[in-house]
Structure 1
Amino acid sequence: MKHLTILGSTGSIGVSTLEIVAAYPDRFRVVAMTAGRNLELFARQIKAFSPRIAVVAAQEDVPRLREMCSGVTVEILGGVEGLIAAATADETEMVVAAIVGAAGLVPTAAAIRAGKDIALANKETLVTAGHLFMNMVAEYGVKLYPVDSEHSAVFQSMEGHRSEDITRIILTASGGPFLNTPTEQLAGVTVRDALNHPNWSMGRKITIDSATMMNKGLEVLEARWLFGVPVEKIDVNIHPQSIIHSMVEYVDGCVIAQLGSPDMKAPIAYALSYPERVATGVKPLDLTALSGLTFFRPDREKFRCLGLAYRAIKDGESMPAVMNAANEIAVEAFLEGRLGFMQIAQVIERTMDAHEAHNLKSIEEVLLADRWGRDRAREICRGMVN
């Protein structure tokens, strides 16, 4: 029996994780779970999985959630202190880090310091503070399992092989909903258009990141820290079918790839049950039903966010944290109708232009860089007209 804390249980990763838990009650038990503002779903999850601790991000939501869960034996907490309590609960052995954005930074760090293994779905943890987190993972002797489909694919493709034999990691990208949309038409796309991903069912923020291809830039940064491979050895290929989730090339010219139907339950289950595998209900892959598998290089002029991510990687130090913060603010503004789709990249670029990269020596300094990036991006957004 593995005891879990799920950070972000009402998001797409959290919901899929709970589906795996429900399918294997003899293998997994939820000790603690956290959520944002979707209190109705969270209350149903609490009643279904009976965690000892339940945490809402906003302290002001605690009384309402307690009322919704009256009669249920559960400790309901709120705010950052509550998130830390959930992440460090005594019984917990593994923390599923699925909070979207930089908000996952503090509780994930607390979990590592408490000696908990991490199933990492939160890209931003390594994007903003990769060197700090990987040092903590080594210092506290915990295991870090990737949940992102691409990084899980790389992890699986490296099993049984020596990391020093790797010549290249190839991350695949679907290209999102605008892969074949002419660049001149992108300025007029709507939120509904951008949320219409052709292959994957994901949360709103990551779906927009997929549409701009910022998600792939974040994944390059994440892969650099997860696998200890220099950025020069990490390529991105557009693969519209989303069947090959990523590949690893070795010194002998062989390439190992991981394939499967596009369903996040597969990489989640692998992280939870590693080194074993469990049935997930994911649709079996029928290669004979495919018309073909295609690959090509991304257009960085069209998808400018990918180029900005590579720029942040090159600048290093605090720049990835600032870039990530600006992206979160710009995506939020787009989803709220205050910014056009093509203006997302403009906000990020102008925020980065205003920042002088500097060394980050602690999580607190990362949070300061994040706050600076958010404040500057908000200021830039206010000065732009959709």
Structure 2
Amino acid sequence: MRSVIILGSSGSIGTQALDVIRANPRRFDVVGLAVGSNRALLEAQAAEFGVEHTAVGIEEAAQLVRDVDADVVLNGITGSVGLGPTLAALERGTTLALANKESLIVGGDLVTRLAKPGQIVPVDSEHSAIAQALRSGTDDEVRRLVLTASGGPFRGRRRDELTAVTPAEALAHPTWDMGLVVTTNSATLVNKGLEVIEAHLLFDVDYDRIDVVVHPQSIVHSMVEFVDGSTIAQASPPDMRLPISLGLDWPNRVAAVGAPIDWTRAQEWTFEPLDGEAFPAVALAKQVGRAGGEYPAVFNAANEEAVTAFHAGRIGFLDIVDTVRDVVEHHEASDARLTVESLAEAERAARRAAEARIAGIARA
């Protein structure tokens, strides 16, 4: 039986993880739960699963990880605030099932230097798919990684057709049910840009060997192309419980966590090139990833501010990525070694810069 701490247990990833554990009570034992603020749900979850160790808040979640013995920590927190708990899990030597991509992207070398080989198990469906496909060959046999993107609610639209997009339209994702920020990031494809950086950090593959292809059915979750011309793809109906279950018990598979593809039914899977003019976030993310250092933190923080402003009606949809680009291009990075404190200061500077640009747009 594997003992598990779930951070962000009130969110989408956390509640689905508890669904997996609820269905497999002899395989998993929940020993810790943490939420951002939802005490009522936390208490109900703790009562159901018999959990004695709970926490409310980010610092408390990190301390919970330090204090409680566990085989696996599932970090399902949203945003770069998850960096502290990520570092705490790695320092503890615990397997980290990582759904909080922002902590890896923002932390960069801080995280990768601390992680032991195999200690981080990706929970994002795309990176879980790549991890599964990579088992088909050796590192030197990999030609490239191909991340799939649904294309979001605006797939096929030209850039000039995105000017009047509303927040409600941006939240109408055709496949996944996610929170406000992640859903909006999927509409701008910022989320896919973040996933490109995540793939580079997780699998140590150069950015020029990481591609994105649009696959609106969201059945093929990502692919690995090998040097002999073969491509290994992981395919399943869109259900996050599958990659979550792998994160909890990697590399073992948990039976019946999701329905398989119905091969008796006719179906069509399509793949389209990414329109980089309408959706420039992926190219910008590669630029940021290559720059490294604190730039991914700046990218992420500026985006969070811009997404908030968009939903408040202060800027338009296209202004989100334009704001991020402007902040990144004008940021003056420090030459000092990365620390948690220096990253936090870079994020604060990025948020101030983003807010200044947003205020200028709102006045115009």
Tell me the residue number matched to 2:97.
Answer: 119
Q: Could you report, residue by residue, the CA deviation over 1:67-92 in whole angstroms, capped at 9, with x for unpaired residues?
A: xxxxxxxxxxxx51x12222223322
The reply on whether 1:86 has 2:64 as its aligned counterpart is yes
Tell me the residue number matched to 2:293.
Answer: 317
Residue type of the alignment partner of 2:210: I
Per-residue deviation at 1:41?
2.9
Q: Could you report, residue by residue, the CA deviation over 1:117-149 in whole angstroms, capped at 9, with x for unpaired residues?
A: 1001111122112222111013xx661111000
Q: Could you report, residue by residue, the CA deviation over 1:204-247 in whole angstroms, capped at 9, with x for unpaired residues?
A: 21111110001111011001010111111101101111111111
Per-residue deviation at 1:35?
1.3
Q: 5+ unaligned residues in a row in structure 2: which ranges?
A: none
Per-residue deviation at 1:339?
2.7
**Number of corresponding residues:** 362
Q: Could you report, residue by residue, the CA deviation over 1:182-214 in whole angstroms, capped at 9, with x for unpaired residues?
A: 432322222221111111122221111110001
Tell me the residue number matched to 1:67.
Answer: none
Per-residue deviation at 1:19?
0.6
Residue type of the alignment partner of 1:373: A
Tell me the residue number matched to 2:347.
Answer: 370
The reply on whether 1:203 has 2:179 as its aligned counterpart is yes
TM-score (norm: length of structure 2):
0.94
Residue type of the alignment partner of 2:52: R
Contact 2:11 2:76 survives alignment (8 Å): yes
The reply on whether 1:286 has 2:259 as its aligned counterpart is no
Tell me the residue number matched to 1:6.
Answer: 6
Per-residue deviation at 1:38?
3.3
The reply on whether 1:128 has 2:112 as its aligned counterpart is no
- RMSD (Å), alpha carbons: 1.8
Aligned partner of residue 384 in structure 1, secondary structure: helix
Tell me the residue number matched to 1:33.
Answer: 33
Alignment partners' CA distance in 1, 2:269 and 2:305 = 35
Q: Could you report, residue by residue, the CA deviation over 1:289-333 in whole angstroms, capped at 9, with x for unpaired residues?
A: 343211121111101222321221233222111011101111122
TM-score (norm: length of structure 1):
0.89
- After superposition, residues 196-235 of structure 1 pair within 5 angstroms as 196-235=172-211
Alignment partners' CA distance in 2, 1:358 and 1:223 = 25
Tell me the residue number matched to 1:297.
Answer: 273
Contact 1:265 1:280 survives alignment (8 Å): no
Alignment partners' CA distance in 2, 1:378 and 1:11 = 27
Per-residue deviation at 1:288?
4.6
Alignment partners' CA distance in 1, 2:120 and 2:293 = 22
Per-residue deviation at 1:358?
3.7
Contact 2:302 2:351 survives alignment (8 Å): yes
Per-residue deviation at 1:50?
3.0
The reply on whether 1:308 has 2:275 as its aligned counterpart is no
Contact 1:169 1:248 survives alignment (8 Å): yes
Higher deviation after alignment, 91-100 or 352-361? 352-361
Alignment partners' CA distance in 2, 1:96 and 1:184 = 41
Aligned partner of residue 157 in structure 1, secondary structure: helix
Residue type of the alignment partner of 2:226: Y
Tell me the residue number matched to 1:361.
Answer: 338
Tell me the residue number matched to 1:97.
Answer: 75
Contact 1:247 1:257 survives alignment (8 Å): yes
2:306 is aligned, of 324, 327, 330, to 330
Q: What percentage of aligned pairs have identical amino acids?
A: 41
Q: 1:104 to 1:303 in 2, by over 3 A?
A: same
